[in-house]
Amino acid sequence: MKYKKQPSVFVVVLNYNGKEVLKDCLSSIYQSNYPKFEVVVIDNGSRDGSMEDAKNIFSKAHFIKNFQNMGYAKGNNVGIRFALERFADYVLVLNNDACLKTNTLSELLNEAEKRPLPSVFNPVILNTDEKSVWFSGGQIKWLKIKTVHLRKISSNNPFRTQYCTGCAMFVSKDVFKKIGLFDERYFLYYEDADFSVRAKRAGFDLFICPSAKVIHHEQSSIKNKSKNYWLILSGLLFFYLNSNFFQKKWLIFHLQLRKLKNAYFLMNGKCPIAPQVKKAYMDFERLI
C-alpha cells in the first residue's frame, strides 16, 4: 500500500529483568520492512543489566529508566506519552518477550490506514513453536466474571474482537487522545481489557489482523504466587469498574461465594495459593 505521507509508528517496549528476551525482541523490530518507526524502551527498575546491555547494541532506540517497578500500565504510559509528544501517528505496545515478523508493522499499518475511523488492532499472536495460537481475539464473560483468549483464526480478513491484548496492541493516536492511556489503577493484568472496553464504548473498533503475526515467548518475570494475586485483584477491579449496577451486585454476590470456597481451601491446606487469593479478595474490598 502506498501512503500519501508515511505515518510515524512508535514501538513501546516495557522491560523488567528481561535479559533473556529483550535483545531478541528489539532485533525483530529493527528487521521490520516498514521504514518510519522509532523504538522506546521503558525499563521498570530492572536489576539484571538487561537495559544496559540493550543500550550498547541498539543505539537508535530511546531508553527511559524508571527507578522502581511501576507496573505494566504506568510503565507503558511513560513510553506512550513520550511517543505522542513526538507526534506518533500510531503506537505499538509490545511485550519484551514478543518478537515481530518482518512485515508485522506494515501489515498492521495497512489495515489501520484502510479504516474510515481510528481503531485498535492486534496481530495474531503465536506461541514459540510459531504454529499454535496464543491469542486470536478475546471474549469478556460478564456473568462468569472472566476473560477468554481465543486460539483459532476465524477469518483470513480482519475481524472484530471484544478486547485486544496488551502483548502487541497497535493503537491510533486518536484513540489515546479521546479515551486517555492505560488506567494506572491496574498494576498488572486487565489494563488491556479495560482499555479495550473504554475504546469500544467511545465508538472505536477493535480488530484482529490475521496477516500480521507476532511470536510470544511468554517468559514472565512475575513469580507464580504474585501472578495469581494480580490476576485475581485486577480481574475483580476490571469487572467492577466496567459493570452496570446489576452486574456489580452480581459480582459482589459471586465474590462472597468465592470467599467461602477459598476459606475451605485455607482450612484443609490443599491449595497453596489460597493465602494469595484471600489477600487479593481483601485488597479488592478495600479498593471499592
**What pLDDT was estimated at residue 225?**
73
**What pLDDT was estimated at residue 221?**
57
pLDDT per residue as tens digits for the range 62-87: 999 999 999 999 999 999 999 999 99
- Helix, coil or strand: residue 278: helix
Cell of 64: 527511559
Could you tell me how many residues make up the chain?
288
Any residues with CB less than 8 A from the CB of 153 and at least 6 apart, and which? 124, 133, 136, 208, 210
What does the alpha-carbon distance between residue 177 and residue 173 come to, in Å, rounded to a whole number? Answer: 6
Tell me the pairing of strands 138-141 and 146-149.
Answer: antiparallel
Any residues with CB less than 8 A from the CB of 112 and at least 6 apart, and which? 90, 118, 119, 121, 170, 172
User: Crossing angle, helix 224-241 and helix 245-268, to 10 degrees?
Assistant: 160
**What pLDDT was estimated at residue 270?**
84
What does the alpha-carbon distance between residue 193 and residue 122 come to, in Å, rounded to a whole number? Answer: 12
**What pLDDT was estimated at residue 222?**
63
Domain boundaries of the chain, sorted by first residue: 9-216, 224-287
Other CB atoms within a 10 A radius of the CB of residue 9 amount to 24
Q: How far is CA 239 from CA 104, 150, 194, in A?
A: 32, 19, 9
Q: What is the CATH number of domain 9-216?
A: 3.90.550.10
**What pLDDT was estimated at residue 2?**
53
Tell me the pairing of strands 168-172 and 119-126.
Answer: antiparallel
Whether the Cβ atoms of residue 33 and residue 135 lie closer than 8 Å to each other: no
What does the alpha-carbon distance between residue 99 and residue 102 come to, in Å, rounded to a whole number? Answer: 10
Whether the Cβ atoms of residue 15 and residue 65 lie closer than 8 Å to each other: no
Which of the four pLDDT bands, split at 50, 70 and 90, describes residue 276? very high
Tell me the CB-side half-sphere exposure of residue 254, using CA atoms within 13 A: 14
Put simply, whether the predicted model's pTM sits higher than 0.85 gets the answer yes
pLDDT per residue as tens digits for the range 116-163: 999 999 999 999 999 999 999 999 999 999 999 999 998 999 999 999
- For 194-231, the DSSP string reads HHHHHHHHTT-EEEEEEEEEEEE-----S-HHHHHHHH
| CA-wise closest residue to 10 among 70, 61, 54, 47 | 61
Cell of 61: 532506540
**What pLDDT was estimated at residue 173?**
98
